[in-house]
Amino acid sequence: MAKILDGKQLSLTIRGEIADAVARLVSAGGKQPCLAAVLVGENPASQVYVRNKQKACEQAGIASRLARLPADISQARLLELITKLNADPAVHGILVQLPLPDQIAADTVLRAIDPAKDVDAFHPENVGLMVQGQPRFLPCTPHGVLQMLRRNAIETAGKHAVVIGRSDIVGKPMALLLAQRGWDATVTLAHSRTPDLPAVCRSADLLIAAVGKPEMVRGDWIKPGAAVIDVGINRTDSGLVGDVDYAAAEAVAGWITPVPGGVGPMTIAMLLANTLKAAGGESP
Ligand code: NDP
């Protein structure tokens, strides 16, 4: 049976470390870190995500602000708000919760955020710095996965990592980071056009699923003893499930993340870490 990688517990440990670092920063005369979240419209999942992020900030001693905007807001008005937040010295991190309504070009909005306050690390300048191995901030979900691997002493050097999914926010940066010096994995980035995905997955020592298809990865796709990281969050009639058939995978894998309680809470912890860093603190 696989060892369960408990992201909930680990994220609490990291959030405790961040709270200590915030307290040190403030007692040394630094400013209290502050995250400004921008929520457009009434998407229920987005509301939950933003609420959880704000709660986590408050527990770590990070101030949080929320700008709620109507779903029909114009792009120009949203950009005006970003400009104000960029100029506000009390705000260290800016987070625009995705997805945005159709009348707004998400790329344009994300590029308008001051890269020094871009705690989601989606701005092209921050993506470029990461690609060159000199990150200012790391994107939260891949960073959460790396922390999980490191703190559970899961070896990546010389291993074959297969990442399924090539989105800009999860799959692509995940693959890139694992291939970088220090992590030293040999990486395959798989996607919807990859032939014989089960065979590709069976060759993975480390399998990371970031697809958004409930339980797509079957037990017989997994190499015995592999580390299986399930990034997927899928709402089904039977509740939240990941991209991996957990029950079958658990019997074969060496390590596995549950959904919920795996990568999700780690993502939030790394958002706090980036906000602390943006305010001049030392992130864990
Ligand atoms: P996207 O929809 O942006 O990307 C999905 C990727 O999966 C695409 O690259 C797509 O390939 C690939 N894909 C789709 N179907 C298949 C298939 N049958 N076989 C192989 N590859 C396939 O999703 P995200 O990266 O934004 O999110 C992925 C999942 O992770 C979602 O469930 C999301 O909710 C979750 N998530 C979880 C987070 C967390 O904190 N735990 C944070 C962010 C996301 P192609 O490019 O060819 O279309």
Q: For the chain (length 284 residues), average pLDDT per consecutive 10?
A: 97 98 97 98 95 97 98 98 98 98 98 98 98 98 98 98 98 98 98 98 99 98 98 95 98 98 98 98 88
| Same domain, residue pair 161 and 240 | yes
Is residue 221 assigned to a domain?
yes
Our mutation pick for probing the ligand 1 site, out of 192, 193, 215, counting the most ligand atoms within 8 A of Cβ, is 192
Is residue 23 assigned to a domain?
no
| Same domain, residue pair 41 and 84 | yes
Is residue 15 assigned to a domain?
no
pLDDT the model gives residue 61:
98
pLDDT the model gives residue 148:
98
Domain count, the chain: 2
Our mutation pick for probing the ligand 1 site, out of 191, 207, 218, counting the most ligand atoms within 8 A of Cβ, is 191
| Same domain, residue pair 109 and 146 | no
Q: Is any atom of ligand 1 closer than 6 Å to the C-beta of 260?
A: no
Residue 252: give the domain boundaries.
140-264
CATH, residue 109: 3.40.50.10860
| Same domain, residue pair 90 and 198 | no
CATH, residue 163: 3.40.50.720
| Same domain, residue pair 156 and 234 | yes
pLDDT the model gives residue 284:
83
Rounded Cα distance, 254 and 4, in Å: 9
CA distances from 134 to 20, 129, 274 (A): 26, 5, 15
pTM for this entry: 0.98
238 annotated as a binding-site residue: no
| Same domain, residue pair 146 and 227 | yes
